[in-house]
Structure 1
């Protein structure tokens, strides 16, 4: 999606790359050096889902936008999800609040955005594999099986790193995942992953594929397959771009609880 498309409503300010490129080497350190207030990265994410033996694999429309950094972490996101609505839905997420723009919504005169409290997912990740969390990315890279020269992304030649990490290994660095659908009896199921990394140590593409058991709450919904499948494929570009993600103008915003339902 062109920059003009993202900025048409005017809440995110984009510019040219400003954070200095990291020296060649450790991707963990390279990404951590990017997490500076006033800067960010552009992303495009493609999701594929396997809901069972009858439907099989289905690829969804992409999510595109920008991720803003600050104080060593992800501070805000501004994303268009083209799988939702008629023409896509734009969400700005800052802290614990979201602003939602759906071109198809019929809102009161002058209002374009609906806002409500929401647990924003403020992280750089492909599936369960977080790139912005040093322990997680380091653990993933430790399971590398092969590396080879690969394609050019964002104008940068990359090296493809491939491997697999089990849920058990991932729990050691992301213990909160133990509360998910994968239990001890499936802890050795693996997440296959691929990272395309530039000479500057920055990830230009991150891909992961895995299965999760359907569990008791969703038992039977996978058409007897017994699991659901996931593929996450995220492209990263314009690392170090100047970026400030702000809420939309208050005059164009209405609280969700003030809408007539």
Structure 2
């Protein structure tokens, strides 16, 4: 339990001090092991929101995303919107292929703690298995004439501990989550369409089994009590069965690490399904690699894997 929770906490740190990782390959994003019973499959196919999603997987078409994350401390003493993300996602024939997202933090950025750089706004373009980040903690360390930091990788996700843990643009994740629907009710109007809100609970272990983004975030399969960590969720489906809003929450207890308990509430809105979009990598002459940054060698190594560096110290 403690190891997986440490990974979640470490992912929070990673989100603060490193650029977003690259997106998974399209085939991976559109697939993944699902553990649904035939009855669960029938419950999902009756509404068929998964087919509604996959019909939107067309080249140079996408959807706009707006998201905020609240972190609530023990006893609900501390409640704040910790991050805001907005931008656009681009699909290909098999799923998500690129994204262009800007992240802003709503935390103190002045004072003796020197947090201005850590929590500076950043923009990340993820395309063809590579992420390019502008701004953020490394803005002052970029070499002259360079604006973007390149982070290559063959795995990655749209989520971290301070972002939406239920990625409903992954067909397998959407299918498995909706299969655990416990209640339905009218959800109001979002993106100009009346919605029905489905709600329920899915465990961290179940999400790991179906979601490429969660597997990338955690790295290793959760076991024991960690595997049964409940993630509560609400998914708002429009009359066209496309997702318009996702709200999820979970509580991680880090007692023994820093003796605290934090609840993460992620609220994601999708608008403009079918938006025309073509996301391209930044100009090559504006891109820098990690070894070009004007920081110490140890800092550069830790930046590439901040979670491991934190917990091995």
Query: Normalising TM by the smaller chain, what interval?
Result: 0.7 to 0.9
Cα 1:221–1:56 change in 2 (3 A) is farther
- Residues 72-111 of structure 1: pairs in structure 2 closer than 5 A: 72-83=94-105, 85=117, 88-102=121-135, 105-106=139-140, 107-111=142-146
* Match among 193, 199, 205 for residue 233 of structure 2: 193
- Given that 1:127 and 1:232 are in contact with CA atoms closer than 8 Å, whether structure 2 keeps it comes out as yes
Indicate the SS of the match to 2:277. Answer: strand
Indicate the SS of the match to 1:60. Answer: strand
* Match among 133, 139, 145 for residue 176 of structure 2: 139
- Pairwise CA RMSD: 3.1
Pairing 1:65–2:87 present: yes
Deviation at 1:53, TM superposition (A): 5.5
Structure 1 gap segments, 5+ residues each: 1-23
- Given that 1:212 and 1:228 are in contact with CA atoms closer than 8 Å, whether structure 2 keeps it comes out as yes
Deviation at 1:234, TM superposition (A): 0.5
* Match among 245, 252, 255 for residue 279 of structure 2: 245
Deviations 1:57-84 (A, max 9, x none): 4321301111111131211111101128
* Match among 187, 195, 213 for residue 150 of structure 1: 187
| TM-score normalised by length of structure 2 | 0.64
Higher normalized helix content (fraction of residues): 2
Q: Which aligned segments of 4 or more residues in structure 1 are displaced greater than 6 angstroms?
A: none
Indicate the SS of the match to 1:41. Answer: strand
User: Size of the alignment, in residue pairs?
Assistant: 231
- Residues 1-261 of structure 1: pairs in structure 2 closer than 5 A: 25-50=47-72, 52=74, 56-83=78-105, 85=117, 88-102=121-135, 105-106=139-140, 107-118=142-153, 121-122=156-157, 127-174=164-211, 176=215, 179=220, 182-214=222-254, 219-223=256-260, 227-261=261-295
| TM-score normalised by length of structure 1 | 0.75
